[in-house]
Each structure stands twice: as C-alpha cells, then as structure tokens.
Chains A and B, each alone.
Chain A
C-alpha cells in the first residue's frame, strides 16, 4: 500500500514538473510568435517603401526625360518602321 502511494506521489511530482515545463514553453513560443509578427509587420512596411521607391524611379515622366536627354533615344520615324503581318492573323 505504502509502495503504491509512493509511486503515485512520484507520478504527481513528474506531472507537476511537466506542467511547469509546458507553461514555460508556451510562454517562450508566444514571445517568439510576437517577435516574428513584429518582424512581419516591419518587413511589410519595408516592402511598401520599396514599392514606393520602385514606382518613383519607374515613373513614366522620369523614364521619358532620361531616355530623351541622357540616352538620346527617339521614337523611330515611320519610314524606318516595317510592319510585318503574321499570316493568318486577323
């Protein structure tokens, strides 16, 4: 009888320790989750800023000016354009 009691007490102690351990793990996972969420938000913001930057650089007005002034590009004159019709195209 006393042996069984001893065994049960032991099991109880193990369970209690496991509970403590589980609680601790839950908390640390939660902290980790929060950290990652925060990181996700920061990355999202950064993505937005990069998109903004990209679209500012790719602004047609800017591209147009650079192409004409710095690179000296022009639209090809019509007599140098040859239109090729695909056979069977509508």
Chain B
C-alpha cells in the first residue's frame, strides 16, 4: 500500500504557498547567520574587549620597602600598611550630619574638613594620609559615596630620634631623603609586580592570563649600628649638651678592628616619625657633614710624623718656653713647663712643643702624614653629603701656617674623619674602611698609615694623657686603660678667631693594650664657663666607653683600677618621647 496513492492524503497545494514558506524560513536563517557573522566575525574585537573587561583584571602587586635593622636585628625602620582616606569630588555626596561625624572620627575641626572636601578638582585628592585602623573601620561603616580608603605603606622608625641621623627618613612617596634611607635607596626600594587574571562572577580569581611579573620586595639592611650603644651615646651626649648649655655636638663610636660605625649620635635631634614641621638644622648629621678645626686632637699625628722619620724619640727632651715666636705669630702655652719630652708634649698638650716638632719637618712631609691619615679626603662611609674637610697643598703653606697646623688650626675635619684617622693608632697603624653596614671581618682590607711600632708609641703617649698630669684625667674608665687626646679649639666666627667660643673635643680608645673601640666626641660652644676638651667632651667619652665595654663584655686590662674609682654621677633620666 502506498500512501502517495491514497487520494485522501494527497495535498493539493498551490505552488506559491510552498515558495512563500520556503522563503520565509530561508530569510530567517539568513538573518540569524548574518547576525552571527556580524558578532563573531566583524565586530569581534569590540565585543571580546567588553567581555574581557568584565572578567579580566590587571592587578598591581604591592612591594614594600625593605627593613633597616641594627647589627643585632633590632628594627630601625619598617614599612607597614596603613589606610589613607581619599575623596573624588565629582561623586562626593555628604550630608551635614555625616560631615560632622566624619570630622569627629578624624579628630579635626568640622570647618577644616568642609574646606578640604569643598575642593573642586578632577580626579581624587587625599583627605588624610594616615588613618588608624579604628578610624578606618568607622569610616568604612559610614559608607559614603565618593570617599575611599586605600592601603598604603608608611615608614616607621621605632628607634625615633635616637638613630634618626644615621637612618634618615623617606618622603611621602617612599623616596629616601636623608641618611641610610637615601644612600641605599635602590636596594631598599621594592618594585611593584603585575598580573593579569580572569575572574568569575563571584570575584574569585580563576586563572592567570599572562605569566606573573612578581613584585620585588625591597631588600633588608643590617646596619653596623648597635642600638644599645647608640642609645648610650645619644643619652650621654644629650646630658652633656644640656649640662654645658652647648649649641650642639656629636659622638662617633667606631669598632677599631673593622671600621664599623657602632654608633653615631648628634644634637640637636629630630623625630623622623613626625613628618610635619621639618627643619633642616636639626636634621643635619653634624658628625659627617660639618667640619671644624680640630685643635689639639691633631697633635698625635705630628708626633707620629717625627717618630716615623726618627727625628725624635718619645723620651727626647725639648726646650718649651711658654711663648715662642714663629714669623709674626706668638705661639703660647697655658701652663709653663720649661722642658718637656715628646710624650709630655702630647700629655700636657703643649702648643709650643707641637710647633717645634712640626717645624723639624718640611711642609711636604708634614702634609704627607696628614694626607695619609685621610684629612682633606672623603672618609668613604658612603653617607650622603659626607665632607672631605680641608687640607691645603703643602706648596701653599707659609711657615706660620705650618706652625698653626701643628696644633690644629688652618685645616678642617669632620668628627667622623678625625675618629677614623685615630684608627691608625688604635689598630697598629692600619686604617680600616668605614662602614655604616654590618660586615664580616674577613672581607675587610685596611690601609697602612703608620708602622705598628710608631702607632704603639703614639698610643702610649696618648695613654699618658689620661694619667696623672695629663689633660684628660676625666676620661678614665675604671678597670681599663684608656688612650686619647683632648682638643679645645677657638671657633672661627666671621673670619676671626672668637676669644670665647670653643669647640671641645676628645678622641680616645680602649682598652689601650689592644683597642677595640674608638670614640670621638665634639661639643660645639659649651657656654657654662667650662670649655676644655678634657672637661666637656672627656666625661662623655668616659661614660659612653664604660657602657660600651660593659656591653661588649671586654676583659679589663687594668682590673686593679676598677675598685679605686667610682662612677659617682647621678643617673640621667633620658627623654623617652622617641616613640612612634
């Protein structure tokens, strides 16, 4: 049986109807195909872009600045995230109530806040750079349109002003401005990374689209500084500055064997955590940047120079009248001693004696010793702005100038430079390169300045300074042998030596049998009547040195003196506002 043959089922359609339906279906198909072609083929870039914009995200991976710590790992600088408050003026909608509430949360006058928010700028502006976590939570709870909280890294200095001059600080853009923060900017700074990711509709990251550019965290830095010694130096210096009503001062503590800077304190101070009202004066690292005429602290170098050439022995006796004329310049001593040995010249700090020693040298020889000791050259600590001081070429010296040079006028040095030069006496003639960074002993190569025998002879002379009859009896440390040299220099004011403004200094080392530490102290314009280096700078040296030796547990090399002397000083209550 064939269906086609059934009459009943035979359709009798007009051919145009078939054609019409066919056309209709075909045109529908064409429409869909055309649309698909348009979307998939012609307009694909635009649409793909729109799609990616919804699902794909570019993320910047934050990188924070490296930490700075002392040699034992105590933190000196750290970056930690804080919230900051931003506003976008085009979107900002804030009722009066909300404004009052916000002002209360931020703890600022409502009027100031209103003025701040009224600013009409395109884009965003910062309302408050640092918001505490509690404030951030309250602001987030207010949910105001146009106000944003953003995470930023802020630099903190837990040691505060104690180590401020060495560590320095950064500006709001995290760029080192002073000190170590500036010197090692490239190492400390982190580099932000980047990654492209795809997200699902719940905001989860599904996959990475490109290889991740990892963020490079800033490198950490371990300084040579010892925070306990640094604090000790800071405390004693501050006490001396206020006791002597001085304008300023510095202390440098060096490791005699490695050239590491264990402490470096200055007065006046500043707080690196307080970013308002910075003044350039207190921020200056005087010990490294400022120069002064060293006065008598230069005399050991003259002694070393004449010993080195075999012109004198430590016990050679020299006639030392109280006054002596060189050219038209009258050199005078404070106290008369008609005859002195070379050792006594150093011990009693005789100007006449030092001049006589110096004039046995040619200017070239004299200059050469000072040059070898590092005067007139950068000390090489790498500290930003460090000064080379001033030492003129020997060919320009007049005899009078060579004479004044013997007792420390006519050249200028920084305290760091002077203390570094004393390393030649402490370290048996070898000067180690200075370092603000902690380093391993094996990686250091020193420079020979004097022969070991000359260095030891001069050291013995400087030990006499601290003994009975010397200028530095206040620098003694119970239980230890101390060697050093006092200095008291008239300050140059408007081209003339001021009769009553002094720079008092002392540079010394201990234990003298085998020095481990060198400490340089300079006090600028002590003005309570006492101004001798041995009386102003000397006690600071003794206090800091005693603390350091105890801190480092160095065995006493003169234990018999330990019980004979007492540290009879009232305790200093230090300022404790160094917090964050």
Task: Give me the interface of A with B, judged by CB distance under 8 Å.
Answer: 27, 30-31, 34, 45, 48-49, 51-52, 54-56, 58-62, 64-65, 68-69, 74-75, 77-79, 81-83, 85, 89-90
Contact = CB atoms under 8 A, between A and B. Distances in A.
B80 A49 contact: yes
A51 B159 CA distance: 12
A65 B272 CA distance: 21
Given A65-B573, A65-B574, A79-B566, 9 more contacts: A30-B205, A56-B158, A60-B159, A61-B578, A64-B235, A64-B576, A78-B479, A78-B567, A79-B563
Contact of B78 (A34, A52, A74, A78): A52
A30 B563 contact: no
The main secondary structure of chain A at its interface with chain B is helix
Contacts, number: 95
B571 A48 contact: no
B206 A30 contact: yes
Interface string B554-569: 0110010011011110
B560 to A, nearest CB: 10
B158 A55 contact: yes
A83 B559 contact: yes
B556 A83 contact: yes
Contacts of A78: 478-479, 562-563, 565-567
B231 interface: yes
The main secondary structure of chain B at its interface with chain A is loop
Query: Range of interface residues on chain B?
Result: 35 or more
Interface in B268-327: none
User: Which residue, A48, A75, A81, has most C-beta atoms of chain B within 10 A?
Assistant: A48
B76 to A, nearest CB: 8
Interface of B: 67, 74-75, 78-81, 156, 158-160, 162, 204-207, 227-228, 231, 235, 478-479, 555-556, 559, 562-563, 565-568, 571, 573-576, 578-580
A75 B580 contact: no
Contacts of B479: 78, 83
Contacts of A56: 158, 579-580
B288 to A, nearest CB: 22
Nearest to A41: B62
Given A52-B156, A55-B159, A61 B231 contact: yes
A49 B576 CA distance: 21
A89 to B, nearest CB: 6
B576 A34 contact: no
B576 A61 contact: yes
A58 B555 contact: no
Given A79-B563, A83-B562, A59 B204 contact: no
B579 A60 contact: no
A2 B330 CA distance: 125
Contacts of B162: 59-61
Contact of B228 (A51, A60, A62): A60
A61 B574 contact: yes
